[in-house]
Structure 1
């Protein structure tokens, strides 16, 4: 029943910390995950978020890949509507040239920020979401081999051309599941914060998948919050940092990752708690045995080909310990 585990990191900035500390912790976590046998370490593009330092995603991927040896490093994801496809092809062509065989390119179609910041990123908002399928295919074309002598293509990605960087589609709805199936690409679903459509998206993707040169069989990776500690009570306390962060976001006041509290009910109203619990219901929180049972149940229900674990934990040492417990729990299944 054991399923490969990967890591999704936002390079979290904890309250009282800064981006430099977040980057040091991200690299330390990546090295830790590599030693534990995690398959990938992905970083997510967000903007204007006080608690997220991974805005310049390609730059940070280079930092993490340069400080590790074997783990695959990639984006979970790059928000393609914020960028020209050629720019992303050149960036990831550069990364693949520096770290061959270790770079993944996960693509999302959301802005990863508020509307004003999205407008500042894109300048021309237009119909960027509607162009997403065309932009994905344009990006794919930049990685195709060029003709001998370099003729026959008016715009080329150098570096990028001929490198076949693996492209993934990310999503929290049925749209990207259907597009990933149509293009024959691996699919990652954001069930760690948008669990509602997870099972429908997985079924749609698998039923409509068309083999491609990149992928012969469908491959689904599902996001899962895993907050593990040596005891259930300790893990539930660690989890309150993420709950508080979601609460701040829903109140329109995004913040740095806060320290945990003894009781989440002390900082939110019952209706707010209900909304947070609903959004974060794809979470496994507890001690080693609780986590083992939670992972087993998730695998039994959703049958993922891979699980991408994420954990916004305030204390870095506790975060490392959580990923250790998760790896050991999965290995025991």
Structure 2
């Protein structure tokens, strides 16, 4: 069955960018205002991403931020996109998100990733002497499912809070590993096409083909990350997107900075290899005026049959970022 834009839910992923000339406090305030605006537009959920030791990203204490955003909104689901599970003991995650679920019943999501979300030095600081193996992530996911589920007779380790909250667990990924695991466990799946789109279609085919219904989910449910910069015209959107291009180039070259203001003709000043690398990173991006955005989102809907778009919008001016969400919501309707 062909997916149309009106069938697809709209959500947002926020890395809580610290802007050049701004502060962490500014970034946190902007995140809350953005979430409140997204809620007013009918967005389904608002997720925060865990990253550590990265200039310009203020979302390292993900559970704290989830509580902050949930406390400032009323109906929208709020969650992690995701908690990087190798960095945490499952019991600690269960207690944190169990507490959030008790504070905001029916509104909390727990998205889990298996990457460290940081560099090797920070990874060692987070994990101490722990060495991660391929078997750890599936085992930790299973432990979290048990800790957040009903208490069983004879169960010695109980998350308090957490037990019985049934916080929905999502698996996140940019490769085929989590797609396969989400299918085997009957869990919803979010693909990180906002920064690693290369395996998107292959991962979704694998997930849907191997999916086993569970008590959690009767049929596959797919969210895809979509970098989105919308403006009244294509030219203005391209200008605003230069902040994203600068951020991506910094990631690719190891020169991470705060989110930079837009620069006219930024891409024209790059060498062909840099332009190609940015284009590859942003292959799933939708950038333009309303008609271009509508066409881009419709194409993503057609080729992915996604149930939900998770927008990532790195616009330097917070007001123009809200306008970008306005345009996206309008074209989706």
Q: Paired residue for 2:107?
A: 102
- Aligned pairs for 1:81-120 (under 5 A) are 81-120=86-125
The structure 2 residue matched to 1:243, chosen from 242, 245, 252, is 245
Match of 1:19 in 2: 24
CA separation of 1:310 and 1:92: change in aligned 2, threshold 3 A? same
Paired positions, count = 328
* Contact 2:79 2:109 (8 Å CA) reproduced: yes
Contact residue 110 and residue 129 of structure 1 kept, 8 A: no
**Where does residue 282 of structure 2 map in the other structure?**
280
* Alignment map for 1:1-80 (pairs within 5 Å): 1=4, 2=6, 3-80=8-85
CA distance in 2, matches of 1:253, 1:182: 38
For 1:47 and 1:290, the matched residues in 2 are separated by: 35
Match of 1:164 in 2: 166
For 1:303 and 1:226, locate their aligned partners in 2 and report how far apart those are by CA, in whole Å.
Answer: 18
Any idea what the Cα deviations from partners look like across 1:139-166, whole Å, max 9, x if unmatched? 111012114xxx6111110000011000
Q: Distance in 1 between matches of 2:291 and 2:268?
A: 28
Counterpart of 1:253 in structure 2 is 255
Report what 1:226 is aligned to. Answer: 228
Contact 2:190–2:223 at 8 Å: present in 1 too? yes
Normalized against structure 2, the TM-score is what? 0.97
SS of corresponding position for 1:196: helix
Conserved in 2, the CA contact under 8 Å of 1:79 and 1:109? Answer: yes
Name the CA distance, whole Å, in 2 between partners of 1:133 and 1:305: 24
Whole-Å Cα distance in 2 between the matches of residues 129 and 289 of structure 1?
A: 44
Partner Cα separation in structure 2 for residue 135 and residue 23 of structure 1: 30
After TM superposition, give the deviation of residue 125 of structure 1 in Å. Answer: 3.4
- CA-to-aligned-CA distance 1:282-320 (integer Å, 9 cap, x gap): 111001111111111111111101110111111100100
Shift of 1:252: 1.2
Measured against aligned partners, the alpha-carbon deviations of 1:48-104 in whole angstroms (never above 9, x if no partner) come to 111110000000000000000000000000000000000000000000000000000
**Distance in 2, Cα, partners of 1:292 & 1:277:** 20
Q: Measure the CA separation in 2 of the matches of 1:124 and 1:10.
A: 28
Give the 5 Å matches for 1:137-216: 137-147=142-152, 152-216=154-218
Structure 1 alignment gaps of length 5 or more: none
SS at match of 1:223: strand
State the shift of 1:129 in Å. Answer: 4.7
- What are the within-5 Å matches in structure 2 for residues 297-316 of structure 1? 297-316=299-318
Q: Deviation at 1:267?
A: 4.6
Q: Which SS does the other structure have where 1:193 is aligned?
A: coil
CA separation of 1:55 and 1:110: change in aligned 2, threshold 3 A: same
Does the Cα contact within 8 Å between 2:242 and 2:267 map onto a contact in 1? Answer: no
Computed over aligned residues only, the root mean square deviation of the Cα atoms, in angstroms, reads 1.0
- Cα distance in structure 1, aligned partners of 2:140 and 2:271: 42
> Secondary structure of 1:105's match?
strand
Equivalent residue, structure 2, for 1:123: 128
Tell me if the contact between 1:12 and 1:51 (Cα under 8 Å) persists in the aligned partners. Answer: yes
- Is contact 2:84-2:112 (8 Å) kept? yes
- Secondary structure of 2:171's match? strand
- DSSP-derived class of the 2:64 partner: helix
- Consecutive unaligned residues in structure 2, runs of 5 or more: none
TM-score, structure 1 normalization: 0.97
1:127 Cα offset (Å): 2.0
